Amino acid sequence: MNISEIIKLECCEINFTAKDKNDSLLKLAELLQRSREFRNIETQNIYNALKEREDMGSTGFTKGIAIPHCQLDGLDKFVISIAISKKGINFDAIDKKKSKIFVTIIGPKGDRNEHLKLLAQVSHILKEPGVIDDLLKTTTKIGLYEEFLRNSEIDIKKISRKGRDKLMILIVKEEKILQDITEVFIEYGIQESTIVDTQQMENLLSKVPLFMGFFNFTSEKNPFSKIIFVKISKDHINAIIKGLEDIFGDLESYTGLGIMVLDLFFSKGM
């Protein structure tokens, strides 16, 4: 099983906070619910399954590590989330210390063997020298995601292998949302993009004598239009779209922003 396909970037969090263990389980359930794999499963069901497993015995271990996990009806694939709590949370750990690294594993009901293998693999990764410190030092969600994979048995270069990069194109129709978009990019570790000034078709047509009078930009119509080009990994697409929809709502019904993602046939020097 390829762990890079199971860890979901949209389910990674570097500023995880919770009041106590029970609140942690609820917020971990909410974090996991961001994955499309849970689109037909309620957050409460995820929480109930995690809570039922914790009632059997705490999954808070030593050195600030917690590995909550459970099996869930209605889930077809395994999903792993990673959350970092800088201050730590009381999670009934074996050594009585606060837990800071939460790697949560949810698997399909009945797939016992694969579940056990994943638990062993995650435990092995976290025991490697320096891994805990490296994870705690990450400052972006993508950084956390890639740092964990870098320390797994998978070569990080294979994750970004040729053919995995995509071109995301964002059509921005409202100036006020540019800062929100930039903040989402920064949150996911994207610091390079190309922004191009454009004109909407209506703006061009309004200057053609034949069509004058049909398009009036002195009224409510906003001629603002920009296109943002960003090269991203295929594995990051869902997370970034989810981050944008957290702010703007369903992009199918939001008119200020449109998104396309295209395959990159060739890329050099960028």
Q: What is the pLDDT, as a whole number, of residue 183?
A: 85
The span from the CA of 59 to the CA of 186, in Å, is 32
**Number of folded domains that form the chain:** 2
Final residue of a domain: which of 106, 127, 158? 158
Judgement on whether residues 127 and 7 belong to the same structural domain of the protein: yes
Do 21 and 89 meet the contact criterion of CB atoms below 8 Å apart? yes
Claim to verify: residue 146 and residue 57 sit in the same structural domain: yes
Q: How far apart are the C-alpha atoms of 214 and 188, rounded to whole Å?
A: 42
pLDDT per position as a tens digit, 225-243: 899 999 888 888 888 998 8
Residue 133 and residue 10 share a domain:
yes
Range(s) of the domain holding residue 251:
163-263
As beta bridge partners, residue 80 has 7, 105
Q: Is residue 250 part of a domain?
A: yes
The reply to whether 25 and 124 lie within a common domain is: yes
Q: List the CATH number of the domain containing 38.
A: 3.40.930.10
* Residue 59 confidence (pLDDT): 96
Residue 195 CB neighbours (<10 A): 15
What does pTM read for this prediction?
0.76
In a shared domain, residues 137 and 179: no
What's 216's domain CATH number?
3.30.70.120
**What is the predicted pLDDT for the residue at 200?**
63
Which pLDDT does position 205 carry in this prediction? 57
Same domain, 119 and 181: no
Q: Are residues 136 and 80 in the same domain?
A: yes
Choose the final residue of a domain: 129, 158, 187: 158
Q: Do 23 and 96 share a domain, yes or no?
A: yes
Ranges of residues in the chain whose predicted pLDDT is under 70 = 1, 153-163, 199-223, 270
Tokens coding 83: 């959350």
pLDDT for the residue 219: 46
Residue 269: inside a domain: no
Q: What is the pLDDT of residue 75?
A: 92
Residue 200 belongs to some domain of the structure? yes
